[in-house]
Structure 1
Amino acid sequence: MTLPRLAFFPAPRTGELLYSVFARHARWDSAGPKATMQTLFGVPGAIASIDLPNRLSALEGRLPDGLTIDALIDGHTLAPYYCAFLPAEVRGAIRNAMRGDGGNLHLISGMAAFRLARVTRLRFCPDCLPEMVDRWGSGHWRRDHQLPSVLVCPTHGTVLRASTVDVSTGNRHGFIAATRSCCPPDAPPVTHAPSDAEGEVLLRLARASAALLDRGDVGPVDFDEVTAFYRGELRLRGLMRSRLKVDQVALGEAFAARFGTVLGRFPGLAKAGRGQGEWLATLARRQRKAAHPLEHLLMRDLLGSRERQADPCGPGPWLCRNPLADHHGQLVVNDLRIYRNRQASVAVFSCGCGYRYTRSISAAGELGRCRFKEFGPLLRPALADLVAAGATLRSVANRLGVDPKTVASLAAELSIDTTWSIRPSTRATRPLAAAASPPAKSRSTRRTKPGPRRDWRRLDDDLAERVGRAAARVRSFAPPAQVTAASLERELLGRRGWIGKRRDKLPRTIAAIDGHAEALGAFQLRRVDYSIARMVADRQPLKPWAVMRSAGVRSDMLVMIQQRIAAYDQLDAARQSA
């Protein structure tokens, strides 16, 4: 059915909500709500919507010259706000649904699952209303005032007031204009009076929310891009444990320090930590579904408040150093993982060809030299061809960019038969310039003043006695570290491998180390107990999956974690009863 051209349609004001434009048309029409709906949309029972109105295609060709449906959607609805962080195909589906009968519009946009409820009771600013009357002769509803993340006016910083117009109750099928009768001076505030610090945060959030309305179509955005953006920003601000793991504890602490009690004003987002929907932790992980725009704004506000740390590895992609690959020396590596190693960090670069190398990162952020870690599938055929061609060990080492001993080890691992020997040559080597000079007088290798020989038995007794204290120190580390032979050697001597190479000379020490070494299951149990104690200290709910992730253990330990939580609950109940 083709509807006649509208006899009158008010020119939308800057920042005016489309609901308000329709309300001013209804005041001019004065034929009643159903007649107005019939005139505008051809359906007398159409529902008046604040945020994402639909059936807008009924206005096509009936608006004043220069005014289009897209201009109304972009400039006078809340669609740009709700679409700001959604993929392009979802934004297109929302726009089509707004042109049509709406259908499952709130399901498409994800609004139906958001923890933060939509605004259904229109809001106004007591400072804006008289200014509107002075400028235009009447008031109107500002669209930024109707955003769920806006509690104070972005212009004046005044706490917004709740009008008497609630579209979820008795005003579903009519448009009501912003007048003094529905915006009385004694209207209740939408939130209690904030402190100066809270008011500053609320004003910052209000202005960031209003800015989303003016951005319009932000271009192609998908969940993978959002994930990569947050991961990169969190890493540059020291909030990542590795390339893929977020330091959730540090992130939660930084979030609490940044926003304090402000989140209590937004039901559903009262806490950013675990056990309260975990929206912050979810947002920092891989994006799989739509998140409320306020969650994105809070995360970006936090990231913007922290100083960027110098990125020692620089932005990717990084060089591939595989001498066997056609892309050797090109910026094709996109996989970077950083893990902690005592006082320093190690960056692991992994190329799609299978080649991996590492670079150490000192506490000062300085990069160490590149160290080969793995060649990948290109090594076996290349090494077999070189061996078959009779290449020498040193020439192959130069070809692969590693030392000869590493080449021999790689050949042995791949079960490639070679005639190479890594034993030192018996032929003496000297500089060519010295060949013509007379041979120097041979020097006896006999030690003229031999020092005292090492008393291995005494050393063995001393180290064996100290192993227990070293194990106690390792067990006292927080977060827990596994008591292993390597960790005990580091505590005893400040290095690893020295004792293991002298097993026959230090039998008591080896036996003591084996006796104090910790099995993996026992270490994981200590990690679980540590995580439970920390979550209790932070007043976080003890949920098995949350303890599992905090402890860094696998899901096959969930039953054991449930038992440990139950044991703690029983102990806590006994303490309280006592």
Structure 2
Amino acid sequence: MNYFPTSYPDELLYSILARYHVRNGNISPKMTLHELFGTNTITAVGDMPSDIDSLVCRIPKHKRLTADGLIMNNTLFPYYTAFMPEARTKLIEADMKGNGGGKIHTMAGIMAGSINVPEYLRFCPECNKDDEQKYGENYWHRLHQMPGVLFCPVHNEMILDSTVNLKIQNRHEFIAANEKNCLEKHTKINYTEKDINSLITLSEDIDWIIKNYENVKDFMEKTYGTRNYYIEKLKDRGYATVNGRVYQENLVADFIEFYGFDFLNSVQCPVDYNNQNNWLSSIVRKHRKVFHIVMHLLLIRFLYGSAEKFINIGDNYKPFGTGPWPCLNPVADHYKKFVIKKAKITHCYDTKHPVGTFECSCGFIYSRRGPDTSPDDLFKVGRIKMFGLVWEKKLEEAINKNWGLRRVAREMKADPKTIKLYSAKLGLKTGFNDENIHSEKGSQASIDNVLQQNDSLLYNHRNAWLLAKKTYPDKSKTELRSIAKAHYAWLYRHDKDWLDKNSPEHQKIQINSTRVDWIARDFEVLQKVKDAEKEILNTKGKPERISLSRIGRVSGLLGLLEKHLDKLPQTKAYIEAVSETDDAYRKRRILWAIQKLSESGEEPKLWKVMRIAGIRKEYEKQAEECLGKKKGY
């Protein structure tokens, strides 16, 4: 080609190719395809096209266009892959450059997703006016074609459908935007002011994500995905326990109340109260599939306020500092020198704490659990993953000097068992393979060996244990163990006899034989039960059912009520009187939903009431009766 159009700001690649077709004056769409791609069988795809390498090799060199640049700046690739794992992102990028067009939409989750791709190319009337003034023509904006973008974030105007239907139109024809196909003839949807504001902010979040794509991908790599951050915020907001178990009912109820049913339906992300596997409940569980970017952004705005605030957390997420980090290979010339420039951060499966893995060029790899809380943490090793070639070479040199096992272990700063293991692994001939290193554990020989390595080590641990015992004279051995964990563990392994002799004597548990005054206890518990009932009734948000278990949890007396309720006759009678049947609890939820809708200025229609209250279809008659009584007929 001798000519190729210069891209306008945020122009879709489809639009650039359509303008090429018009400017070149080609009558046949297939002639244009042959000039652009070298074949006339290419399909005109709007969002995620393929064969971009073939296109780039035909574009004039002075344009300095690359496949990477076109994919990133003129397709919906950054939209669909922003929150996607890096491995899948690379595969999609490769298919877009090559001829993998048939797999792209499947891999991106578009085919199986619940959010449909717009059938028509879309436009903002105000953007078209601006484009006419600046460039003398219209073009298809990339942002306007993204699912979830229903309002233009620049003009706060509703995005409208053109007459260009990508599914019905000629599959091989690129159609340029113009006055004829961008008519404002479609009826605008009457959104509430609240929904309009929510739709505008969603468009702004999507726009921000696309413009800051590299930061988003860095965040995903540094923080090991988004789920951990969702869970931490859910804990902070009271939607999850400290162990990360999510209170799904409360989350779903407040999420729907935050956005409203109409808004969630308009962005194709409805949340079903009665489906435990709805997308909101699934996205806060372990991610076993790719979730649409709109779903991520809805949850992010609910929890964090905006996409920008959420991603900026990743910029400050440095549990092990900014680096560089020290190499802790004890036999290397650069021992404790800051030569490691990159750390890999993952998360502990059990504790969810960050785990840093540090790899030096000498081959030494170690990890530790974070976050770091003091400068000394930089020099701690949680686990040695690999000693590396430098360490192994030093081991071979030490063995060749015919030293004993203990001396080799001291020189290599490693456990004798490790020395024996690596000697065998490297096939080194040693003279200490028959030494018994297991029988000395806890013996005086073991202590003497430790003292040879560090004369003050035994003294320090003993002194620390005696100091803890003196500081807390009333504490038992078990309680002191939790106070001086490291010292206890060391002494238990190497000096157990001394530890037993210098620990508090075993304390006998005094059994209180005083009889319980159940009459007084009944009166006391009854007051707490009444307070708990009031608290349940006054709970903000979706009503909670009044039951023995709920009263027990709120009052903190669940164990007592479950085991000894028969000894508390007044309390038992009161709980039986106030506990709600299925019918009573359902009615209270219906009345709450009606009141909620009325307070927000919405008409309490039957379907809305049932949705908010979480009422199944089979109880529609009861909801209708409550609604009729509330309206006075």
- Range of TM-score over shorter length: 0.5 to 0.7
The equivalent residue for 1:523 is none
Paired letter, 1:283: I
- C-alpha separation in 2, matches of 1:400 and 1:272: 60
Quick check: 2:15–2:139 contact (8 Å CA) kept in 1? yes
Quick check: 1:116–1:266 contact (8 Å CA) kept in 2? no
- C-alpha separation in 2, matches of 1:167 and 1:292: 21
Residue 114 of structure 1, CA deviation: 1.4
Q: Does 1:398 align with 2:468?
A: yes
Quick check: 2:152–2:158 contact (8 Å CA) kept in 1? yes
The equivalent residue for 2:79 is 81
- Deviation by residue 1:350-380 (Cα, 9 ceiling, x = unmatched): x989xxxxxxxxxxxxxxxxxxxxxxxxxxx
- Deviation by residue 1:31-83 (Cα, 9 ceiling, x = unmatched): 31111112212231211111101111112332232211111111111111111
Q: Does 1:31 align with 2:27?
A: yes
Quick check: 1:16–1:141 contact (8 Å CA) kept in 2? yes
For residues 62-211 of structure 1, the aligned pairs below 5 Å read 62-64=58-60, 65=62, 66-101=64-99, 102-186=101-185, 188-189=186-187, 192-211=189-208
- Deviation by residue 1:157-211 (Cα, 9 ceiling, x = unmatched): 111211111111123210000011111232x15x503233222221111122122
Quick check: 2:151–2:199 contact (8 Å CA) kept in 1? yes
Q: Does 1:255 align with 2:312?
A: no
- C-alpha separation in 2, matches of 1:198 and 1:538: 25
- C-alpha separation in 2, matches of 1:139 and 1:67: 22
Residue 240 of structure 1, CA deviation: 2.6
Residue 267 of structure 1, CA deviation: 5.7
Quick check: 1:97–1:105 contact (8 Å CA) kept in 2? yes
Q: Structure 1 unaligned segments of length 5 or more: list them.
A: 1-5, 309-314, 319-331, 338-350, 354-380, 425-455, 493-499, 501-508, 518-525, 541-564
Quick check: 1:227–1:284 contact (8 Å CA) kept in 2? yes
Residue 531 of structure 1, CA deviation: 13
Paired letter, 1:154: P
Paired letter, 1:203: I
- In structure 2, the CA distance between the partners of 1:410 and 1:36, relative to structure 1 (3 Å rule), is same
- C-alpha separation in 2, matches of 1:282 and 1:400: 53
Quick check: 2:518–2:567 contact (8 Å CA) kept in 1? no
1:460 to 517, 520, 530: 517
- C-alpha separation in 2, matches of 1:250 and 1:472: 23
- SS of 1:165 mapped into structure 2: strand
- C-alpha separation in 2, matches of 1:255 and 1:534: 22
Pairwise CA RMSD: 5.3
- In structure 2, the CA distance between the partners of 1:400 and 1:98, relative to structure 1 (3 Å rule), is farther
Q: Does 1:60 align with 2:59?
A: no
- In structure 2, the CA distance between the partners of 1:63 and 1:262, relative to structure 1 (3 Å rule), is farther
- C-alpha separation in 2, matches of 1:106 and 1:398: 64
Percent identity, aligned pairs only? 24
The equivalent residue for 1:512 is 567
Quick check: 1:224–1:287 contact (8 Å CA) kept in 2? no
Quick check: 1:84–1:293 contact (8 Å CA) kept in 2? yes
- C-alpha separation in 1, matches of 2:164 and 2:210: 23
For residues 246-325 of structure 1, the aligned pairs below 5 Å read 246-266=246-266, 268-271=268-271, 273-275=273-275, 278-305=278-305
Task: Give the structure-2-normalised TM-score.
Answer: 0.55
Task: Give the structure-1-normalised TM-score.
Answer: 0.60
For residues 269-418 of structure 1, the aligned pairs below 5 Å read 269-271=269-271, 273-275=273-275, 278-305=278-305, 398=468, 406-407=476-477
Q: Does 1:20 align with 2:28?
A: no
- Deviation by residue 1:407-456 (Cα, 9 ceiling, x = unmatched): 27999xx9x997874569xxxxxxxxxxxxxxxxxxxxxxxxxxxxxxx8
- C-alpha separation in 2, matches of 1:137 and 1:510: 82
- SS of 1:282 mapped into structure 2: helix
Residue 274 of structure 1, CA deviation: 4.7
- C-alpha separation in 2, matches of 1:109 and 1:473: 54
Paired letter, 1:36: T
Paired letter, 2:211: D
Q: Which has the higher contact order (CA 8 A, sep 6+)?
A: 1
Residue 460 of structure 1, CA deviation: 3.5
| Greater helix fraction, Structure 1 or Structure 2 | 2
Paired letter, 2:81: C
Quick check: 1:54–1:98 contact (8 Å CA) kept in 2? yes
Residue 84 of structure 1, CA deviation: 0.7
Residue 384 of structure 1, CA deviation: 8.1
